[in-house]
Amino acid sequence: MMVNFEEYVQKYRLFIIAGIILLAVGMIALMGKKEETVPQQAAKAEDHRGITVLNYHKIDNTFHSLSVRPEDFEKQMQWLKQHGYHSITPDQLYEFVTNGVELPDNPVMITFDDGYIDNYTNAYPIMKKYGFVGTIFVVTSFLEKYPNYLTWNQARELEDNGFCIESHTNTHKSMTEASDDQIMEELTTSKAMIKEKLGKESGFIAYPTGSYNLHIAQLVKNAGYKAGFTIKYDAVSRGSNVYALERVPIFHTEDTNRDFLERVLYLPLMNKDGWIKK
Ligand SMILES: [Zn+2]
């Protein structure tokens, strides 16, 4: 039997209308679906990648790989602020790793090694502007000995404003090349100096150049430190060894801010694929 077009439309009218409605609903749903924002992506990444601990040295304009320019540093802090990051202290990180204590959303720990004066003159005002605190691992014998290092008064002011001053040994001796006695001397003298000058018990150490081994970690524990920080391109997680906490160095490179973003956003990928130090 021949069915002409009109009869066909009559017969299947309801199906055709239902089809058009479904198509329209689908299109509206597609148009309404927003792109995921970077903080949403970052929050998702946070679930499985743990906590990023950034490691800086100098914040100044000298052309050196360990010197991040203040304008670059400001862009990095601004980016962290705009994307909802909250800076945490070493105690907060320690409590997270050992006792599972919750951290604020998008936590990041911002650390500096050696105790350069530009941490106070350049980094501190920028961080204050964005509401961040940092942790400075100082080489205790360098303070008030060399002009490009912090003074104890500056260290105290930083402490009073939420920063943490912790140990980076007393003379920056490489621990993997020192005797046990020398290591203990470095550990106990720097701890005593921080106690004397700042009236606090330093519970944290950053190994000079990140070099450590299990024996050194044991000595650090014996000297009364709660945790130690190394350099490793990975995030801190609940499974991290508290005497070998991972930190990601931020260097001055040909494209410092791009490298910063890569490290903050894609840390797990870098680690998985074997990240090459730039
Ligand atoms: Zn150092």
Residues 46-105 have pLDDT tens digits of 444 689 999 999 999 998 889 999 999 999 999 999 999 999 999 999 999 999 999 999
| CA angle (188, 233, 164) in 5-degree steps | 40
Q: Is residue 277 part of a domain?
A: no
Q: Cα(91) to centroid of ligand 1, in Å?
A: 21
For the chain, what is the mean pLDDT?
Answer: 88
Q: In the predicted model, what is the mean pLDDT of residues 239-262?
A: 90
Work out the average pLDDT over 102-122: 97
Say which residues have a Cβ less than 8 Å from residue 158's Cβ, sequence separation at least 6: 119, 120, 124, 136, 150, 165
Per DSSP bridges, beta strands 67-68 and 58-59 are parallel
Domain that holds residue 76: 38-272
Please give the distance, rounded to the nearest whole angstrom, from the Cα atom of residue 169 to the centre of ligand 1: 9
| Residue 278 belongs to some domain of the structure | no
pLDDT confidence of 40, banded at 50, 70, 90? Answer: low
197-234: pLDDT as tens digits: 999 999 999 999 999 999 999 999 999 999 999 999 89
CA of 54 to the centre of ligand 1 (A): 14
Residues 50 and 116 in one domain: yes
Q: What is the DSSP string of 72-96?
A: HHHHHHHHHHHTT-EE--HHHHHHH
The reply to whether 170 and 220 lie within a common domain is yes
Mark whether 15 and 65 lie in a shared domain: no
Please check the confidence at residue 15 and state whether its pLDDT lies above 90.
Answer: no
Instruction: Return the sign of the alpha-carbon dihedral for residues 132, 202, 219, 180.
Output: positive
* Residues 49, 13 share a domain: no
Indicate whether 18 and 123 sit together in one domain. no
Residue 203 or 44, more confident: 203
Helices (H), 53-151: 70-82, 90-99, 118, 124-129
pLDDT of residue 2: 54
Q: How far is the CA of 208 from the centre of ligand 1 (A)?
A: 5
Residue 172 C-alpha to ligand 1 middle, in angstroms?
Answer: 6
- Position 147, amino acid: P
Cα-to-centroid distance, 114 and ligand 1 (Å): 5
- Kindly state the tokens that stand for 133: 């605190």
The alpha carbon of 57 and the centre of ligand 1 are apart by a number of angstroms equal to 8
Q: Which amino acid is at 241?
A: N
191 and 156, same structural domain? Answer: yes
The residue written with tokens 């450590």 in the block is 212
Whichever domain contains 195, its CATH number is 3.20.20.370
